[in-house]
Amino acid sequence: MYITNRKGSLFEVIIPKEWDGKTVDAILRNVWKLPKKMIHTWRMNQEVLVNNAKANWHLPLAQGMRLQVPFFAKTEQSVTATKMKIDILLEDDHMLVVNKPAAMKTHPNEEAETDTLLNAVAFHLQSAGEECDVRHVHRLDVGTSGVILFAKHPAAYAVLSRLLEERHIKRTYRAVVHGLLSRPSGTINKPIGKDRHHPTRKRVSPSGQTAITHYQVISSDPKRNVSLVQCQLDTGRTHQIRVHFSAIGHPLVGDRLYGGKPLVHRQALHAHAINIPHPFTGERIYCEAETPNDLIHLFEFHH
């Protein structure tokens, strides 16, 4: 855990023991791995401070010094803020984790759309007096519920996106699939590409992008011939879990696009948890989203 403070537009971190001797340049470039353009702008504008004075970028810093970086500079909100109730699981100066309802889109695809989760999060921040352009770090399909991570400032967006890509952020999903799986756990490693015959559907295709899903059977119900599985992804392809389980003959319940039966009004997929190594505080953040009511009865055989 680092000792940090927010001072107006500045994020202040007290240099911890493990950064002793590192320069400002090394922290921004090698520890946080911020975008070069961002670092360059701050440097040209002399916006980074050490102990309230303009930073010397190549001077080794000592434990206990205060590094002050302009993370919270005001930015224009790029989406319409819309008042809607949202379920916030965690919020700090850098990020929010929100539990998305199944029927809601993650973000608008055109300006006219103002009823997505991103619009609701923008309203939440605006009404708290925060002038920032919030962005989603990843997305969930319409029809999938659960945890979504949002970044409140450009540095957080850059670092969290990289951590997700490098698989340091772990997301756990739960799905109810048709059939009883022959193995208690396994890995589905099948590339996913477009389906030429359908505008929105994806399919397993040798020329597609690498896609890897690890799963574990939590429980199964032979009477209803369904299984509850927990999944972790090494890749984040569109519809990945849905395509993969359909490809091994166990489509998701309710997922009519990929062969599931409509026992519920949507695909039975819930982003259950997220585990984040917090880039700016040194904490490990873990959030879980409760299973929504429409899936509870499908999960009932799980004790």
Q: Could you give the residue numbers annotated as active site?
A: 141
- The pair of three-digit structure tokens given for residue 115, joined into one six-digit string: 């009823």
Sign, CA dihedral 259-270-230-186, equals positive
Q: How far is CA 67 from the centre of its chain?
A: 27
Neighbour count for residue 30 (Cβ, 10 Å) = 11
First-to-last alpha carbon distance for the chain, in angstroms, is 36
Name, in order, each residue with C-beta under 8 angstroms of 225's C-beta and a sequence gap of 6 or more: 178, 179, 180
Which residue is it, tokens 């206990």? 64
Cα 202 to Cα 192: distance, rounded to the nearest angstrom: 7
Cα 165 to Cα 155: distance, rounded to the nearest angstrom: 15
The answer to whether 106 and 116 are in contact (CB under 8 A) is yes
